[in-house]
Amino acid sequence: MSENALDINLKNRELDNVKRFWNVSKDSELKKLFPFLDNTLEEAIDMYDKSLLPDATSYGKTIYVNDCYIGDVWCYCIDEKVERSCFLSIVIFDKNYWSKGIGAKVIHEFNEIIAKKYHIDKICAFTYKSNIASRRTLEKVGFKCLEEFKENDITSLYYELKL
């Protein structure tokens, strides 16, 4: 199944998406690849509610393939005044859709949305060094690795994409 044969759509996040994402983020395999917040469901819902406010510093979309919810893409720490940047995060939690080119297509489309929506000059991202698929996806859409660092005994990489 190639990316071209898939109907990939970004949709608005809803409360049910937040609850499902919170549940799947407890998966041990996903936790090895992504630095999820260790928060309660109530805290996750509160963060979602805050993202809907006019002055929100985060914004996200859900990823659907053939009408199936498979993950989220969002930006956070949106700063339109000083750094003129935001941080990008993407998680495709449905493992059936890994390594199909979906992440690159989604990031490209989402970056276009946030570049129009916000007054920013760059998009930043972090990934674990061991997450080869994430690294390749970021580089495929133009992100450049600028720094390697260790935090909590995990080596991570910092990427930027200039707009």
Q: Is 72 helix (H, G, I), strand (E, B) or coil?
A: strand
Cα–Cα distance between 17 and 108 in angstroms, integer?
22
- Name the percent of the chain lying above pLDDT 90: 91
Residues 6+ apart with CB under 8 A from 142: 161
pTM: 0.93
Please give the pLDDT value at position 1: 47
Whether the per-residue pLDDT at 3 is higher than 70: the answer is no
Tokens matching residue 145:
């690795």
Q: Is 74 helix (H, G, I), strand (E, B) or coil?
A: strand
φ, ψ for residue 101, nearest 5 deg: 80, 5
Please give the pLDDT value at position 12: 97
Q: What is the pLDDT of residues 24-55, one digit of tens each?
A: 999 999 988 888 888 999 999 999 999 999 99
Q: Strands 144-151 and 68-79, how do they pair?
A: unpaired
Question: Which domains occur in the chain, in start order?
Answer: 3-120 (3.40.630.30)
Please give the pLDDT value at position 4: 59
Task: Give 86: exposed, middle or buried? Use CB within 10 Å, 0-12, 13-18, 19+.
Answer: buried
Q: What is the pLDDT of residues 73-116, one digit of tens each?
A: 999 999 999 999 999 999 999 999 999 999 999 999 999 999 99
Ramachandran region of residue 99, left (φ > 0), alpha (ψ -120 to 50) or beta? left
Cα–Cα distance between 77 and 85 in angstroms, integer?
8
Question: What mean pLDDT is predicted for residues 109-129?
Answer: 97
